[in-house]
Structure 1
């Protein structure tokens, strides 16, 4: 037997509701659709899904009124914590929070409007070639924050597997200047491209590529790029920013 593709057929009361859920939150695309029917697919290894409306005459008579209950649609993904954070921020109905089982399975569950349970899973290595505690993080588009002055790309963060530290890259175009602010935790900046001019407590330093700057906590600073520059930043993950004259603090989303 040679299987060229596979699909999971689900009988539901509201085809449109499940279709919207799968396309909005899990990146499925509609391959074919008609009244009471939708065929969904992805471009990767995820199983194709066929949605059929309960009672449709396409099904044998003894199956028409059955619904997809007691079934779990499980999808194995990479960077599970980031997926959980993305879906929670999007308002997806997470019905079982992220957890890790003793046998190395990490998972969380959502439930769609028709009661279909979708489980996202990530497995720790079990062949002895990798420490299960080791995390390899790949930058992704959802980890990028663009401000008027810089682009921050999140690397390590609690939502992506680190326990204490956050790291990210900063890219600034020539002439860009960030606002005055302070951060509640010490930061270490290593300039990797170009030069940054950093002012802290009325002292300004030019930091060229290859140099590292330590910015102490709770000091007002301003960062300027006289030429296009990039830097790698490390900080304790619980740091928050403050702006002079403004009330409250601001989280750094790329460090969370």
Structure 2
């Protein structure tokens, strides 16, 4: 078998949204497009992508209502850190910040409006630095430029203030985003939650551990069938991937922290959901 090209076909709810995401942030170009269909390509070795709208009659009946879920489109690139900086500056939805695995894989992830996860990857030799070593200094080498570069790349402190743009209002609660990858953090997301008396959130799971500290009122937190009442000043740790539900017997406020790459699922529904206030 000789493979001349590779194409990934994705069934999504909104073809235009995914097309815009891929062309704006990842350099894809539209080869063909029609109502409910788009064929995208790049000039390099990246896989071609076909976007099909859910319900299209082009697909067999048993596939028409499926959608891309649990799939990662991985693209190996060079100068991964520069790509991450470019995408962050462009406001791209980075849902897993840049990290390096012990086996030598450096990666970060974006999630498009239809929930398609795109992972950019760069490989390095395990146990070595992820950048190319500098040429050894000689006695007459001026170190000024190297020192300046090291200073420019040093971690910086971010002070984050609540803003109206970071507020999400649902029927059950109001979430105000604080730290998040889109607002300067690299690994953690934090936010505040306000719930009116009698409000109850939906049953759901989160893929990462969450830590809730109640700052006013009290909450009743049901997790894996067990209900705990958490009063102001107390903290509850919610394990990942367990069904939980939060109820406010009285008006309550809480501060929440978790890893920034988490996603949510709702029992009885397909796919995963991002938390907009934590992205």
Q: How many residues align?
A: 148
What is the SS of the residue equivalent to 1:235? Answer: helix
2:131 to 135, 145, 163: 135
Mapped to 2, the partners of 1:8 and 1:15 lie a distance apart of 14
Alpha-carbon distance change, 233 to 122 in structure 1, aligned in 2, over 3 angstroms:
closer
Mapped to 2, the partners of 1:212 and 1:96 lie a distance apart of 38
Mapped to 1, the partners of 2:50 and 2:59 lie a distance apart of 13
2:148 to 224, 227, 235: 235
Mapped to 2, the partners of 1:134 and 1:99 lie a distance apart of 11
Q: State the Cα distance separating 1:132 from its structure 2 match.
A: 3.2
Mapped to 2, the partners of 1:89 and 1:100 lie a distance apart of 21
Aligned pairs for 1:214-233 within 5 A = none
Q: State the Cα distance separating 1:238 from its structure 2 match.
A: 3.3
Is 1:24–2:10 an aligned residue pair?
no
Q: State the Cα distance separating 1:19 from its structure 2 match.
A: 0.2
Mapped to 1, the partners of 2:101 and 2:68 lie a distance apart of 26
Is 1:120–2:120 an aligned residue pair?
yes
Q: State the Cα distance separating 1:125 from its structure 2 match.
A: 3.3
**Structure 1 runs not aligned, ≥5 long:** 138-155, 157-209, 215-231, 240-256
CA RMSD, aligned part only?
Answer: 2.5
Alpha-carbon distance change, 213 to 49 in structure 1, aligned in 2, over 3 angstroms:
closer
Mapped to 1, the partners of 2:130 and 2:119 lie a distance apart of 23
Question: Which residue of 1 is the match for residue 99 of structure 2?
Answer: 99
Mapped to 1, the partners of 2:132 and 2:149 lie a distance apart of 19
Alpha-carbon distance change, 101 to 62 in structure 1, aligned in 2, over 3 angstroms:
same
Mapped to 2, the partners of 1:8 and 1:58 lie a distance apart of 16
TM-score (norm 2): 0.49
What is the SS of the residue equivalent to 1:106? Answer: strand
Q: Deviations over 1:101-133 (max 9, x none)?
A: 11111110010000000000111136xxxx831
Mapped to 1, the partners of 2:94 and 2:141 lie a distance apart of 44
Mapped to 2, the partners of 1:45 and 1:236 lie a distance apart of 32
Mapped to 2, the partners of 1:98 and 1:106 lie a distance apart of 7
Q: State the Cα distance separating 1:32 from its structure 2 match.
A: 0.6
Mapped to 2, the partners of 1:47 and 1:132 lie a distance apart of 30
**Structure 2 runs not aligned, ≥5 long:** 135-139, 153-279
Q: Which has the larger radius of gyration?
A: 1
